[in-house]
Amino acid sequence: MRAVYVKGKWLAAAAAFLLPLAACAPPNQGQNVASVQSPTPSPSPTPTTPFATSGPGFHVGEVGINYTSVSFTADGGVKPYHWTVTAGVLPPGLSLSDDGTVSGEPTTAGKYGFTIQAADSGDSKATIPGVIDVAPPLNASLLPPCAKYCVVELGCVNVCGIFGALSGGVAPYTYRVTAGQLPAGTRLSTLSLTGTFTGLTGYLQFSVQVTDALGATSTVSPTFWMYPHITLKGGTCQSTRLSPGKCTVGLAYSGGTPGQQVTLAPTSWTGDLKCGSVAAIPCPQPSFAVSYGPGQATVTLTYQANYPFTFGTLAVRLTSSDPCGAGASCGADASITVAG
Pick out the chain residues at pLDDT < 70.
1-48, 277-278
pLDDT in tens, 214-251: 999 999 999 999 999 999 999 999 998 788 899 999 99
Q: Using alpha carbons only, what angle is made at residue 187 by residues 165 and 194, rounded to the nearest 5 degrees?
A: 65
- Look at residue 44 in the predicted model and tell me its pLDDT: 52
DSSP letters of 125-162? EEEEEEEEEEEPPPEEEE-GGGSS-EEEETTS--GGGB
Return all residues near 122 (Cβ < 8 A) that are at least 6 apart.
Answer: 44, 45, 47, 51, 77, 78
pTM of this structure? 0.70
DSSP SS3 for 286: coil
Angle at 192 (CA atoms; ends 187, 197), nearest 5 degrees: 50
Which of 82, 99, 77, 102 is closest to 91 using CA atoms?
102
Q: Which residues of 94-109 are buried (b: 16+ CB within 10 A; e: fewer)?
A: bebeeebebebebeeb
**Spatial distance between the Cα atoms of 165 and 169, rounded to a whole number of angstroms:** 12
Q: For residue 64, which of 95, 100, 101, 93 has the smallest C-alpha distance? A: 93
Q: Which of 133, 257, 132, 137 is nearest to 201 (CA)?
A: 257
Q: What is the pLDDT of residue 41?
A: 52
Domains and CATH numbers, the chain: 52-135 (2.60.40.10), 139-227 (2.60.40.10), 231-339 (2.60.40)
CA 147, distance to chain mean position in Å, is: 21
